[in-house]
Amino acid sequence: MVGVDIGGTKILAAAVGADGVLGELVRIPTPAADGPDAILAAAIGAAHQAATGIGIAACGIGTAGAVDPAGRISHATATLPGWLGTDVRGAFEAALGVRTIVLNDVHAMAVGEAAGESGTVLVVAAGTGVGGALLRDGVLLTGEHGLAGSVGHLPSAVRDGRPCGCGGVDHVEAYAAGPAIAADYAVRAGRSDAPPLEAVATAAAAGDAAAIAAIDLGAHVLGAGLGAAATLLDPVAIVLGGGVLNLGDRYLSTVRKEVTANSLGETGHAVVRTTAWGPAAVVAGAARAAQAERT
Ligand SMILES: [Zn+2]
């Protein structure tokens, strides 16, 4: 089995054994500006590299965007320009010669994190964008258009008129995604450029008030949105993944506090935990989905 994660900034791939153990993670930048053919070629190259020296029985892909049952991209945001309509499954099956299953990246993460869990679980990935997925007793609830669980596009609790990657205004993602937090820090610190999110985390750890305020705002908006989602779903757990989680304990504790503060009664007591697979969560989940399809 090989799992591949096609994200807005990076592509990850790893071989995954039938026991679920991951091989070495291949990591390359996503050539997003070069268009869909270049992205597919890079992702297929990463899959080949991850599978060097072993046979591949099947392939699982987790990708940004919504995916139709034929493995084509049916909805895409500005994260990957031109990605809409791309036949991801067809390209991988032609190149690798094995059955390939294609899922939205957060759906893949959800399968990897909570396929064995009963009750309703909301899985959220905060990175370049903010995506979400729902499982009920281990089964993905994708909705009528594959968009169920898209918590990043709920209305934000803060409304400063910020544009969202989907074309809307003042959605959660416009405040809580990594680039949004970095851009907010740049404005607060009087910088002309937004630094990488790691630099914001480092500045906050050193007591920089602008960095702390930017991180707190992102955590507040995400937590308030998840509180609203908790009221609607009354989930057993909310699982958080994505690069924004690297902002550390202060970020996570603020998100937890806001979930409780912005939800109804016991719905706010859902366990808010971080992904068990860390950066490999989409890779592991995509491979698990491919494995499940074969058995
Ligand atoms: Zn949006």
Cα-to-centroid distance, 176 and ligand 1 (Å): 11
Cα-to-centroid distance, 145 and ligand 1 (Å): 16
Give the tokens for residue 288.
């698990």
Q: What is the pLDDT of residues 18-27, one digit of tens each?
A: 888 899 999 9
Cα-to-centroid distance, 63 and ligand 1 (Å): 18
Mean pLDDT of the chain: 94
pLDDT of residue 273: 95
Q: What is the pLDDT of residues 53-103, one digit of tens each?
A: 888 899 999 998 889 889 999 988 777 889 999 999 999 999 999 999 999
Cα-to-centroid distance, 172 and ligand 1 (Å): 7
Cα-to-centroid distance, 244 and ligand 1 (Å): 17
pLDDT of residue 196: 94
pLDDT of residue 213: 98
Encode 79-113: b = buried (16+ Cβ within 10 Å), e = exposed. bbebbeebbbbebbbebbebbbbbbbbbbbbbbbb
pTM greater than 0.85:
yes
Q: Which residues, at least 6 apart from 267, have a Cβ–Cβ distance to it below 8 Å?
A: 230, 231, 233, 234, 235
Assign 295 a pLDDT band (cuts: 50, 70, 90).
Answer: low
Domains in the chain (CATH in brackets) are 2-109+279-294 (3.30.420.40), 117-275 (3.30.420.40)
Angle at 170 between CA 173 and CA 257, to 5 degrees: 60
Task: Return the SS3 of 84.
Answer: coil
Give CA–CA dist 207/223, Å, rounded.
22
pLDDT of residue 102: 97
Cα-to-centroid distance, 154 and ligand 1 (Å): 7
Cα-to-centroid distance, 254 and ligand 1 (Å): 22
* Count of other CB atoms within 10 angstroms of residue 75: 16
The strand ranges marked E within 16-56 are 26-29
Cα-to-centroid distance, 127 and ligand 1 (Å): 14
Q: What is the pLDDT of residues 251-284, one digit of tens each?
A: 999 999 999 999 999 998 899 999 998 889 999 9
Cα-to-centroid distance, 167 and ligand 1 (Å): 6
Q: What is the pLDDT of residues 193-228, one digit of tens each?
A: 999 999 999 999 999 999 999 999 999 999 999 999
Give the tokens for residue 222.
């995400």
Cα-to-centroid distance, 294 and ligand 1 (Å): 35
Give the tokens for residue 44.
């297929």
Evaluate whether 43 touches 13 at the Cβ level (below 8 Å): yes
pLDDT of residue 269: 87
Assign 48 a pLDDT band (cuts: 50, 70, 90).
Answer: very high
Nearest to 201 by CA among 224, 218, 187, 225: 218
